[in-house]
């Protein structure tokens, strides 16, 4: 038994275009056939109505010139009755003598024609047949006081047969024309799709390039696709840039602690005295903590440098509740460092649209930077206030040594540290703050503290109204 499955038919642009064209063409052919048959039948009706009227007038002229009592001349009867297929009917009646001749008694028209007027054409039903009749009234020359009514009728068979013949002739020609058009369409579609060959060749010739593929030779209809691919390439380039930058930053920042670890291990091995080993272990512990902190900050910086937050990742955060809780978690650490950490803010709700984890990283880095560089015995104050435009202002201010005014613009640079500062650090804290602020469409401002020290203020825009729920 054959267990192989039939492979699904792959989508084909050529097949889809032809299908899109064939279905409307088929519908148009059907509508054209109906229209052609209607036009042909109308034409046949006009021709037969004219012939039927002429027959009625000719017959009335022949009969009106005769003298007779109750019958018509043999020539006239031959003209009336001659129909090889037996589909002709006639009546000749006199106003005085009644029915004179006829092979069927035909109903009179709805309105009797006047003497000498044009024939009256009308439809009538006899047995199971629909007939088309022409009636004409003429005066009797042999009896001026009398008049003859001549009615000639025929079935609709000949009319429909002629309409079908015209339709068949038209259908054959139209089918041939459509076949030629479809052949041209097939050729044109294949020829038109060749405009994609330069783009295909350009993509096939690439190795690891992520440069844009859009160009002047790309058709307008394909441009939305190429622009989407270019946008994807741009995102990939950004991700690869972040990846390379993270590797470079990690190598730069971890080289010093790893070298120190190696030196202290070698020193302990070379001099295995207890006091030497203990001292080496203390240095190793400090270096390990430094490496761990640097690694954590590098990861935080990489997250902060990711593309802007999507709306679905953001929630409405009440900073008046979120910030005090986060500050409270850092109080014990500040006490151990000999720093007075405090909070000033309103109890009124103050909402911003953001990501809680990112904002917690922002606040932690601000507090950590202030506690680390302000020094023991200093004061660090976290302030939260509403802004006039409906946004929020979050600031962390210390009364430490501060930063020279000319160096304030460089505080957001990666690995930048003020010269003469002996505190350990990676120079990434405020860079992380800057990137997180940018992701939240906020502005980070660096200015001297009052009366001294450093104040870092993050100005958040007003939270937009929408379906987001407060967190």
Question: pLDDT for 223-239, tens place per residue?
Answer: 777 788 788 878 777 76
DSSP-derived letter for residue 406 is G
Q: Among 40-54, 99-113, 142-156, 172-186, which is the least confidently predicted range? A: 99-113
Contact 383, 395 (CB under 8 A): yes
Contact 439, 308 (CB under 8 A): yes
pLDDT of residue 365: 85
Contact 147, 100 (CB under 8 A): no
CATH topology of domain 223-303: Helix Hairpins (1.10.287)
Quick check: helix, strand or coil at residue 403? Answer: coil
Contact 30, 36 (CB under 8 A): no
Phi, psi of 386 (to 5 degrees): -85, 150
Question: pLDDT for 257-276, tens place per residue?
Answer: 677 777 778 877 887 888 87
pLDDT of residue 167: 84
Residue with the larger pLDDT of the pair 257 and 458: 458
What is the DSSP track for 277-310? HHHHHHHHHHHHHHHHHHHHHHHHHHHHTSSPPP
Distance CA 160, CA 166 (A): 10
Mean pLDDT of 153-160: 85
Distance CA 198, CA 233 (A): 19
Mean pLDDT of 320-343: 89
Question: pLDDT for 7-62, tens place per residue?
Answer: 666 677 677 777 777 778 778 888 888 888 888 888 888 988 898 888 888 888 77
Q: How confident is residue 104, by pLDDT bands cut at 50, 70 and 90?
A: low
Sheet with 454-460, side-by-side order of all strands: 340-345, 379-386, 392-398, 454-460, 443-448
Q: How confident is residue 418, by pLDDT bands cut at 50, 70 and 90?
A: low
Mean pLDDT of 97-118: 77
Q: Is the dihedral of CA 292, 294, 296, 299 positive or negative?
A: negative
pLDDT of residue 384: 92
Residue 166 has pLDDT above 80, yes or no: yes
Q: Please, what is the Cα angle at 353 between 352 and 355, to 5 degrees?
A: 115
Q: Please, what is the Cα angle at 263 between 262 and 267, to 5 degrees?
A: 120
Percent of the chain with pLDDT over 70: 77
Residue 405 has pLDDT above 50, yes or no: yes
Q: What mean pLDDT value characterizes the chain?
A: 77
Phi, psi of 454 (to 5 degrees): -135, 140
Of 342, 222, 246, the C-alpha closest to 296 is 246
Q: How confident is residue 457, by pLDDT bands cut at 50, 70 and 90?
A: very high
Distance CA 206, CA 47 (A): 73
Percent of the chain with pLDDT over 90: 4
Q: Please, what is the Cα angle at 338 between 334 and 340, to 5 degrees?
A: 60
pLDDT of residue 306: 58
Distance CA 94, CA 100 (A): 7
Distance CA 276, CA 283 (A): 11
Residue with the larger pLDDT of the pair 159 and 428: 159
Residue with the larger pLDDT of the pair 460 and 20: 460
- Domain locations in the chain as residue ranges: 14-164, 223-303, 309-460
DSSP-derived letter for residue 376 is T
Q: Which helix (H) or strand (E) holds 318?
A: strand 315-318
Residue 467 has pLDDT above 50, yes or no: no
As a whole number of Å, the CA-based R_g of the chain is 51
Q: How confident is residue 70, by pLDDT bands cut at 50, 70 and 90?
A: very low
Distance CA 436, CA 444 (A): 10
Instruction: Give buried/exposed letters for 197-229 (b at 16+ CB in 10 A, else e).
Output: eebeeeeeeeeeeeeebeeeebeeeeeeebeee
Residue 2, preceding bond cis, omega within 30 degrees? Answer: no
Q: Provide CATH code, domain 309-460.
A: 3.30.565.10
Of 309, 326, 321, 461, the C-alpha closest to 388 is 461
Contact 153, 131 (CB under 8 A): yes
Residue 69 has pLDDT above 50, yes or no: no
Contact 222, 199 (CB under 8 A): yes
Of 58, 64, 59, 45, the C-alpha closest to 121 is 45
Structural tokens at position 133: 């009749």
Residue with the larger pLDDT of the pair 86 and 160: 160
Q: Provide CATH code, domain 14-164.
A: 3.30.450
What pTM did the predictor assign? 0.45
pLDDT of residue 283: 73
Residue 414 has pLDDT above 70, yes or no: no
pLDDT of residue 299: 64
Question: pLDDT for 167-214, tens place per residue?
Answer: 888 888 888 887 887 788 777 777 777 777 777 777 777 777 777 777
Contact 411, 430 (CB under 8 A): yes
Q: Among 52-61, 62-71, 454-463, which is the least confidently predicted range? A: 62-71
Q: How confident is residue 312, by pLDDT bands cut at 50, 70 and 90?
A: very low
Residue with structure tokens 């080496």? 280
């Amino acid at each position: 038994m054959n267990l192989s499955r039939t492979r699904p038919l792959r989508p084909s642009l050529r097949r889809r275009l032809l299908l899109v064209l064939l279905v409307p063409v088929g519908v148009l052919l059907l509508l054209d056939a109906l229209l052609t048959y209607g036009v042909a039948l109308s034409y046949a009706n006009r021709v037969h109505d004219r012939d039927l009227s002429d027959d009625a007038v000719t017959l009335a002229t022949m009969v009106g010139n005769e003298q007779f009592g109750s019958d018509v001349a043999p020539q006239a009867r031959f003209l009336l009755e001659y129909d090889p297929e037996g589909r002709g009917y006639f009546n000749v009646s006199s106003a005085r003598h009644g029915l004179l001749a006829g092979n069927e008694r035909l109903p009179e028209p709805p309105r009797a024609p006047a003497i000498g007027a044009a024939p009256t054409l009308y439809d009538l039903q006899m047995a199971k047949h629909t007939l088309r009749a022409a009636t004409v009234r003429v005066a009797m020359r042999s009896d001026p006081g009398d008049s003859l009514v001549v009615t000639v009728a025929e079935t609709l068979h000949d009319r429909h047969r002629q309409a079908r013949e015209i339709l068949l002739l038209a259908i054959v020609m139209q089918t041939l024309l459509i076949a030629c058009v479809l052949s041209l369409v097939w050729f044109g579609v294949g020829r038109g799709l060749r405009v994609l060959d330069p783009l295909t060749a350009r993509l096939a010739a690439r190795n690891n390039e992520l440069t844009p593929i859009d160009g002047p030779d790309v058709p307008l209809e394909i441009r939305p696709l190429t622009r989407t691919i270019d946008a994807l390439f741009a995102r990939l380039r950004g991700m690869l840039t972040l990846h390379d930058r993270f590797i470079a930053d990690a190598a730069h920042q971890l080289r010093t602690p790893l070298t120190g670890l190696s030196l202290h291990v070698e020193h302990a091995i070379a001099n295995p005295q207890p006091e030497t080993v203990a001292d080496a272990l203390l240095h190793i512990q400090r270096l390990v903590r430094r490496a761990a902190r640097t690694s954590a900050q590098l990861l935080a910086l990489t997250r902060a440098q990711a593309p802007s937050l999507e709306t679905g990742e953001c929630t409405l955060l009440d900073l008046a509740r979120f910030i005090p809780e986060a500050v409270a978690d850092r109080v014990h650490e500040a006490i151990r460092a000999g720093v007075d950490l405090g909070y000033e803010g309103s109890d009124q709700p103050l909402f911003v649209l953001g990501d809680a984890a990112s904002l917690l990283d922002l606040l932690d880095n601000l507090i950590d930077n202030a506690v680390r560089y302000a020094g023991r015995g200093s004061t660090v104050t976290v302030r939260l206030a509403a802004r006039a435009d409906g946004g929020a202002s979050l600031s962390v201010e210390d009364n430490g040594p501060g930063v020279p005014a000319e160096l304030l613009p460089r505080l957001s640079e990666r690995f930048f540290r003020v010269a003469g500062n002996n505190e350990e650090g990676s120079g990434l804290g405020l860079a992380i703050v800057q990137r997180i602020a940018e992701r939240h469409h906020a502005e980070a401002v660096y200015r001297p503290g009052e009366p001294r020290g450093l104040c870092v203020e993050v100005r958040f825009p007003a939270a937009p109204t929408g379906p987001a729920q407060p967190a």
